[in-house]
Amino acid sequence: MRINRCISVFLYLILLVACKEKKKQLSDSEPVVFADFIDFFPVIKLPFEFSDTSLLTKTPDSRRIGNKIFNQFVPDSVAQFLFGKGSKPQFFPIGKIEVKDGETYVFVKAVQAAKQAAVIAVFEKEKFVTAMPAVVINGIPKSNDRSLVNMDSRYTITTLRQKTAADGQVVYNKKVYVYNNAGVFTMILTESNDRNNAEARIINPIDTLATMHKLTGDYMQDRKNIVSFRDGRKAGFLLFFIHFEKDGGACKGELKGDAKITSPNSARYTESTGTCSIDFSFSGNTVTMKEIEGCGSYRDIKCFFEGNYTRKKKALQKNPKKKK
């Protein structure tokens, strides 16, 4: 009798453990809480690497996360950024990394038609904070064009793209990011041996806009270091575009925004959703740029938004001769 009772208790414990181990499905058929959502992702051991070819591995439909449930925890703007407005990609779990007393990183596979992506989302205290695309492919990757993402034991994220040219040379572009306490991914390093990319012409996105205000114009050090100002969208502001390359192109920065005119000869840019702040001081045909507060999301870690730039003379328009 006692043996039968022990066997019954043992079987009950096995059943209880089995029930706890069975993860709740996220197929939009029933409501879920954040704990169910996170539990659906397997634990990732660092260092971790995920390549473009890994995206091609078919994931069972039973592992699919319903769009309604996914958007319950991750804004649909994340998918729209990659796949376009109104898109409905399929989502599958890749894995999670939980930092003790800190944030949780979730790797998600998103698929729509031939386009696939590995996305990293960050949560703090069960709330979504930010996300970034890590690997994106459209169709089957070419054997000479490969992409991957890596996260090391210090939670540093590296994206790498390599192309093998016809002559056998391997051209690479590497970017390194960290998640900071401001709730954003900050690029701390960019590295490339792609000479064609390095020599690419700088495109000024505000070049054709109006230059009626006395402070507007293109202020330059050389063709790869420019601070450009145009009339603001509203009174009291200047629209600006900055691009700089220092140390032979090893340190770069780029930013576009609206600077508020604070005096007849000065203006300040203050990021509305972050910490970046830059002062512009005008004197004659010179503007002095100074980074006041962290703009690391828009530049490499070893350089800053700073320096003196000289206004380029505007080309004089010749008046056409009137016909007699």
d(CA 315, CA 107): 52
**Higher pLDDT, residue 196 or 124:** 124
Contact 32, 24 (CB under 8 A): yes
3-state helix/strand/coil string of 149-204:
EEECCCCCEEEEEEEECCCCCEEEEEEEEEECCCCCEEEEEEEECCHHHHCCCCCC
pLDDT tens-digit map of 158-171: 999 999 988 888 98
Residue 99 has pLDDT above 90, yes or no: yes
pLDDT at 323: 44
DSSP assignment letter at 230 = E
How many other β-carbons are positioned within 10 Å of the β-carbon of residue 193?
12
* The token pair that represents 25 in the structure block: 């499905």
Contact 149, 44 (CB under 8 A): no
What band does 184 get if pLDDT is binned at 50, 70 and 90? confident
Contact 188, 300 (CB under 8 A): yes
pLDDT at 96: 97
pLDDT at 300: 86
Min mean pLDDT across 21-25, 89-93, 123-127, 200-204 is at 21-25
Residue 309 has pLDDT above 80, yes or no: yes
- φ/ψ of 234, rounded to 5, equals -145, 160
pLDDT at 149: 97
pLDDT tens-digit map of 70-87: 999 999 988 888 888 888
> Among 240, 229, 247, which Cα is nearest to 300's?
247
Structure-token match 């925890």, residue found:
73
Min mean pLDDT across 27-36, 140-149, 179-188 is at 179-188
Min mean pLDDT across 2-16, 20-34, 228-242, 249-263 is at 2-16
pLDDT at 314: 67
Instruction: Identify the H or E element spanning 38.
Output: helix 34-39
Residue 43 has pLDDT above 80, yes or no: yes
Question: What average pLDDT does the structure give for the chain?
Answer: 86
User: Which strand ranges, in their side-by-side order, compose the sheet holding 170-179?
Assistant: 48-51, 145-151, 157-164, 170-179, 185-192
Min mean pLDDT across 15-24, 201-210, 304-313 is at 15-24
d(CA 164, CA 12): 59
Residue 32 has pLDDT above 90, yes or no: yes
**Higher pLDDT, residue 190 or 71:** 71
